Chain A
Amino acid sequence: MTFLFFFIFAIIALAGAAGVVVLRNPFYCVLSLVVHLIALALLFLLLEAQFVAVAQIVVYAGAVMVLYVFVVAYVGGGDKPDQLWSAGTRQKALAVCFAVAIFVELAIALLGTALSALGTDGAKLSATYGTPAEIGKLLLTNYLLAFELASMLLLVAAIGAVALAGRRGGIAEDEGNLSPRHGLVHTPSPAATGSMAEGVSGYGVTTPLPDPQFEGRELQQPARVTAEDDR
């Protein structure tokens, strides 16, 4: 039974990972990563790490991915349709070569290791293995320093993110030029940005991708405002 579950979850996780690499629209990439993370959490459950599995779903698939979705909706900027696979075939071939080399190295390292316990199901587990109680005890006794340093790191990262993305000196001039209603509804955006609106309307699946002549940062004309709209 474990065998069956392992293969199902492993295949879902690998498919999700492949989706992140292959899909063109960043919005779909994020969704694919969510699928991958959930499958991975189930693999953690198979390894009896209950607390980490739940933390993975709540923190990763929940909080971190929501952050990603917001930024994708804000920035968009998918790879230009003509660019992902055609441009730089040499680069692509090199990248695949390097990736295969990494995999071969890892496989040699894993299979050639002298750790004989790798071929077993693992040590006999205590009843408390992987429970929140045990993790909490370890974090606050043996690994207290790591715990405190991690929380300091999070604080520094939060301050850094605010400092990086914060809007200093009010709204930039060219941002302020957009009239409020265009800013809210008809924000001009590059083609194939992978925004939420595009993702929901099946952009790139049910509607064709735009001409490659839209350069990344060139803006589409905003929808024309007719006289009726102005009233």
Chain B
Amino acid sequence: MTVNWYLIVSAMIFTLGAAGVLIRRNPLVILLCLELMLNAGNLALIGFSRMWGNGAGEIFAIVVMVIAACEVAIGLGIIVALYRRRLPVDVDQLKELHG
């Protein structure tokens, strides 16, 4: 399989993730769609790494995974805090960051 195929699959996954972020309203599902986009990026990175036969792309992918984990921790923390304060868990109704 040529590297092109992997990149096309990565582009498709990225597109699906972007569409999900735009369509869905539940912040939990939006976070899941962000994961999709990050993973699409990871697939492209690994594909390029394979293309050059060089481990740098894999290191990059691992760092992306770390960043995704941080994003999940903070994002879910915010959602739990919203739930605690009895705010609606719906991005259309959450129009203000402040208080």
Cα of A157 to Cα of B51 in the assembled complex, Å: 33
A110 and B8 in contact (CB under 8 A), knowing A20-B20, A26-B26?
yes
Q: Which A117-159 residues have C-beta < 8 A from chain B?
A: 117-126, 129-130, 134-135, 138-139, 142-143, 146, 150, 153-154, 156-158
The distance from the CB of B50 to the nearest CB of chain A, in whole angstroms, is: 4
For residue A209, CB closer than 8 A to chain B, the reply is no
For residue B98, CB closer than 8 A to chain A, the reply is no
Residues on the A chain within 8 Å of B7, using CB: 110, 118
Which of B15, B58, B65 contacts A49 (CB under 8 A)? Answer: B58
For residue A164, CB closer than 8 A to chain B, the reply is yes
For residue A203, CB closer than 8 A to chain B, the reply is no
Cα of A154 to Cα of B67 in the assembled complex, Å: 8
Q: Which A1-58 residues have C-beta < 8 A from chain B?
A: 2-3, 6, 10, 13-14, 17-18, 20-21, 26, 29-30, 33, 36-37, 40, 43-44, 46-49, 51-52, 55-56
Interface size on A, residues (CB 8 A): 93
Main secondary structure of the interface of A (DSSP, over half): helix
Whether the pair B12, A158 counts as a contact (CB closer than 8 A) is no
Which of A49, A103, A216 contacts B11 (CB under 8 A)? Answer: A103
A52 and B83 in contact (CB under 8 A), knowing A67-B72, A103-B15?
no
Among A68, A98, A139, A165, the most chain B Cβ lie within 10 Å of the Cβ of A165
The distance from the CB of B66 to the nearest CB of chain A, in whole angstroms, is: 4
Whether the pair B55, A44 counts as a contact (CB closer than 8 A) is no
- The chain B residue sitting closest to A44, CB to CB, is B46
Whether the pair B49, A64 counts as a contact (CB closer than 8 A) is no
For residue B73, CB closer than 8 A to chain A, the reply is yes
Residues on the B chain within 8 Å of A106, using CB: 11, 14-15
B14-38 vs A, Cβ < 8 Å mask (1 yes, 0 no): 1111111011111011011101100
Residues on the A chain within 8 Å of B2, using CB: 118-121
The distance from the CB of B71 to the nearest CB of chain A, in whole angstroms, is: 8
Cα of A77 to Cα of B67 in the assembled complex, Å: 26
Q: Residues of B with Cβ closer than 8 Å to A?
A: 1-9, 11-20, 22-26, 28-29, 31-33, 35-36, 39, 42-43, 46-47, 49-56, 58-59, 61-63, 65-74, 76-81, 83-84, 86, 88-90
30 contacts between A and B (CB under 8 A): A6-B5, A20-B33, A21-B16, A21-B17, A21-B24, A33-B36, A36-B36, A49-B61, A51-B58, A60-B39, A67-B76, A75-B89, A79-B29, A92-B23, A98-B18, A99-B19, A99-B22, A102-B14, A103-B12, A103-B14, A106-B11, A111-B4, A117-B51, A119-B2, A119-B4, A123-B52, A139-B62, A150-B67, A157-B70, A162-B77
